[in-house]
């Protein structure tokens, strides 16, 4: 198995919300956390599969400062108007999607797999973070990933996020049926300009197989809904990683 195929395999395991319970994830993978002995600085020491968390050269998230205006392809988003299941997986709240939702980027089509949330935002813009960030994870048939990052800022209530906050499981457990009223499209801004760069998963095993597409326009959510999430996960964001001579492109 070559290096890239191995990374794609690890990435697939990391995206599965129940793999650890089914014995498919690497031994010890569920011991990582965001603080203390299992925190980001220790991820690479917890399991051999996590070594890239420390030695990788294209790690995520990053602080997006200088970017290069480019003629990037538009994000062609075709998502269903509901999610399949919702789960508290011990690290975040995650919604999983059935077959049929997709993102097309240029000539590559990616299937929407799941969306999960971080508090505060993992990506920074010119040194500034936001109250939260949503990551819409898509997978191509080749195994490569494209993640649409949506920055969430304080403001008026967002119908989809309010429904997520009202129905998210309070304790870690198996996925349950998601409320039919949660429409993921409502979590997208009207303007779809974006930053693009090559990076990694922001959780172990930190596989460097991700095309990051961070939308430049934040989406407003209610303070009360952020507070509800914070009762479960007051901090679940990996610190910004080194750029290592990477370029960030910005659609124009």
Residues marked active site are found at 91
Nearest to 122 by CA among 2, 251, 235, 8: 235
Q: Are 201 and 91 in contact (CB under 8 A)?
A: no
Residue 171, burial from CB neighbour count under 10 angstroms (0-12, 13-18, 19+): exposed
Nearest to 241 by CA among 147, 136, 122: 122
Cα 54 to chain centroid, rounded: 19
Q: Any idea of the CA torsion for 189, 193, 199, 204, to the nearest 10 degrees?
A: 0
Summarize the chain as % helix, strand, coil (round to 5): 20, 30, 50
What is each CA distance from 162 to 71, 101, 238, in whole angstroms? 35, 22, 24
Classify each residue of 51-87 as buried b or exposed e, where b means 16 or more C-beta atoms within 10 Å of its C-beta. ebbeebebbbbbbbeebeeeebeebebebbebbebbb
Residue 177, burial from CB neighbour count under 10 angstroms (0-12, 13-18, 19+): exposed
């Amino acid at each position: 198995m070559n290096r890239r195929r191995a990374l794609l395999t690890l990435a697939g395991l990391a995206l599965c919300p129940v793999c650890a319970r089914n014995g498919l994830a690497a031994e010890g993978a569920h011991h990582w956390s965001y603080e203390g002995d299992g925190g980001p600085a220790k991820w690479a020491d917890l399991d051999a599969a996590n070594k890239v968390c420390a030695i990788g050269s294209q790690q995520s998230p990053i602080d997006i400062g200088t970017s290069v205006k480019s003629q990037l392809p538009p994000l062609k988003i075709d998502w269903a108007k509901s999610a399949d299941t919702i789960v508290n997986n011990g690290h975040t709240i995650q919604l999983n999607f059935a077959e049929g939702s997709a993102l097309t980027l240029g000539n590559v089509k990616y299937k929407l797999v799941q969306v999960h949330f971080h508090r505060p935002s993992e990506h920074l813009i010119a040194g500034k973070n936001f109250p939260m960030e949503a990551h819409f994870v898509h997978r191509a048939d080749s195994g490569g990933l494209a993640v649409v990052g949506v920055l969430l800022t304080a403001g008026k209530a967002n119908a989809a996020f309010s429904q997520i906050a009202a129905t998210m499981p309070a304790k870690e457990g198996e996925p349950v049926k998601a409320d039919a009223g949660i429409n993921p499209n409502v979590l997208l801004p009207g303007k779809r300009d974006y930053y693009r760069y090559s990076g990694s998963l922001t959780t172990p095993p930190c596989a460097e197989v991700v095309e990051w597409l961070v939308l430049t326009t934040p989406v407003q959510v209610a303070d009360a809904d952020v507070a509800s999430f914070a009762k479960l996960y007051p901090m679940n964001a990996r610190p910004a990683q080194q750029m290592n001579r990477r370029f960030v492109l910005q659609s124009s």
